[in-house]
Amino acid sequence: MKFLDEFRNPELARRLVEQIRRETSQPWVIMEVCGGQTHGLLRHGIDEALAGAVELIHGPGCPVCVTPVEAIDFACDLSRRPGTVLASFGDMLRVPGSRESLAQARAGGGHVRMLYSPLDAVAFAQANPDSEVVFFAVGFETTLPATALAVLQARQRGLRNFSILPAHVRVLPAMEAIVAAPDNRVQAFLAAGHVCTITGYREYHELVERAGVPIVVAGFEPLDLLEGIRECVRQLEQRRPAVVNRYERSVREAGNPQARSFVEEVFQVADQPWRGLGVIPSGGFELRDRFSDLNARRRFPRSAPLPILDQSRCRSGDVLSGRIRPRECSEFGTGCTPESPLGAPMVSSEGACAAYYRYAPAAAIPVCPLPG
C-alpha cells in the first residue's frame, strides 16, 4: 500500500475486525499510548467495532495535556515580564495553568506569540534583538530534535536574547509507571508510531521482558491501528509478549540516528513532573550544563504567585492514566467543553476528552465504516 486512502479501506478494515473478533478468546485491555491514535480510534469507530473483544483505554500520549501546571504558570509569568516574549505552539495557549492560560495572560497584557517551530523562535529572536524571546518547549521525543536544533542554532548565531523553557517528556517511563501501578489494567500497548520514528523501539524490549506486556508500534490510520491491535491480541492469546513494529513504512528499529544525535548533544534525561501523574523518574529532558545559559529557568527569577483557581473538578490525571474514560468525568460536556475547557485533555487537538467530545456522538457514522 502506498497511498493514505488505502489505509482507510473499509473492506480491509472489516476483515481485520472480523479476524480480531475470531481470534479473541477473552476480552483484552489494550492501551493506545498516543493521543493521535485515540482520535483515530474514535473517529473511525474502531473502539465500538471491537467492543466486547478488546477494551481500548487511552494513554497519556498528549504532550500538551501532560505539561505540568507549574510550567504553564511560569510561562504566563514570563509573558508579563517587561521586554520578554513567550513563544509556543498554538495548542499550548488555551491549556489552563493553576491561575490562567497563556491566552488569558495575553488578553491581560502578556506578550505571547504563537509559532509553528522552535526554529521560528530563533529567527524571531534574531530579528528582535531588544526582546528576550523564550520558547516554551513542550512535546514528546517527536518534537525534541527541532528544539535541540533551535538551541544549537541560537548558540551558533551567538544569540543572547533567546532561551527555552524546557518541558519535553519521554514516553517509555510513563508506560513503565502505568504497568507498575497497583491498579493497572493494561495488558498490551500500542506504542506511538511518530515517537518511534525518532527513538526507534530497541528500548521497549526491557519493559516487555520485565512486565510481560506486548508492545506493538502502530500508526494512526484505521488499518494501522487494527493491525496493531490484531498483533497485540495474537501475542496475548499465545502468551508470547514481544516488541513488534507494525508501522514499517515510517519506523526503523534504530529510529532516526541524526535526530537522536542532535538530541544527545543538547539534552540529558531527567526526572520530570507530568500533569496528573506526578513526577516520573527519567520522564523528561533537561538541557545539558553547557547550554544552561539558554535555560529560562536559570536566566529569569520567579515572580510572586498570583491567586490560584480551583482545579479540583478536573479528573485529567485519571483520564491520562486510563483509570476513567472522559465521559465518566462529571464535568464532561457540561462544565467542560472545548469552548470552555476545565482541563488540558479538553483543549489539545490530541486530548482524549476533546476526542470523545468531537467523535463519540458521531461514532455510528464513522469515516471508515466498520461493523459493530
Tell me which residues touch ligand SF4 (CB under 6 A).
Answer: 313-316, 319, 326, 329, 331-332, 336, 341-343, 345-346, 353
CB closer to ligand SF4 out of 54 and 329? 329
- In the bound state, the residue with its beta carbon closest to ligand SF4 is 343
Nearest to 29 by CA among 54, 59, 61, 60: 54
Q: Min. distance of Cβ 47 from ligand SF4 in angstroms?
A: 17
Q: Min. distance of Cβ 326 from ligand SF4 in angstroms?
A: 5
Q: Min. distance of Cβ 341 from ligand SF4 in angstroms?
A: 6
Q: Min. distance of Cβ 317 from ligand SF4 in angstroms?
A: 8
**Rounded Cα gap, residues 208 and 191, in angstroms:** 12
CB closer to ligand SF4 out of 219 and 341? 341
**Rounded Cα gap, residues 9 and 93, in angstroms:** 36
Q: For residue 74, give the C-alpha cell.
A: 511560569
Q: Min. distance of Cβ 96 from ligand SF4 in angstroms?
A: 9
Structure letter (DSSP) for residue 340: S
3-state secondary structure of 216: strand
- The CA radius of gyration of the chain, in Å to the nearest whole number, is 21
Q: Min. distance of Cβ 350 from ligand SF4 in angstroms?
A: 13
Q: 275 near 68, Cβ under 8 Å?
A: yes
3-state secondary structure of 134: strand
- In Å, what is the CA distance from 50 to each residue of 7, 20, 46, 322, 323? 18, 8, 6, 18, 19
| Cell 502578556, residue located | 110
CB closer to ligand SF4 out of 58 and 170? 58
**Rounded Cα gap, residues 71 and 80, in angstroms:** 15
Q: For residue 264, give the C-alpha cell.
A: 544527545
Q: How far is CA 68 from the centre of its chain?
A: 13
CB closer to ligand SF4 out of 252 and 313? 313
CB closer to ligand SF4 out of 121 and 329? 329
Q: Min. distance of Cβ 191 from ligand SF4 in angstroms?
A: 24
Q: Min. distance of Cβ 104 from ligand SF4 in angstroms?
A: 17
CB closer to ligand SF4 out of 160 and 313? 313
CB closer to ligand SF4 out of 125 and 314? 314
Which residues share a beta bridge with 168? 139
Q: Is the four-CA dihedral 42, 43, 46, 48 of positive or negative sign?
A: positive
CB closer to ligand SF4 out of 42 and 121? 42
- In Å, what is the CA distance from 167 to each residue of 50, 67, 272? 36, 7, 8
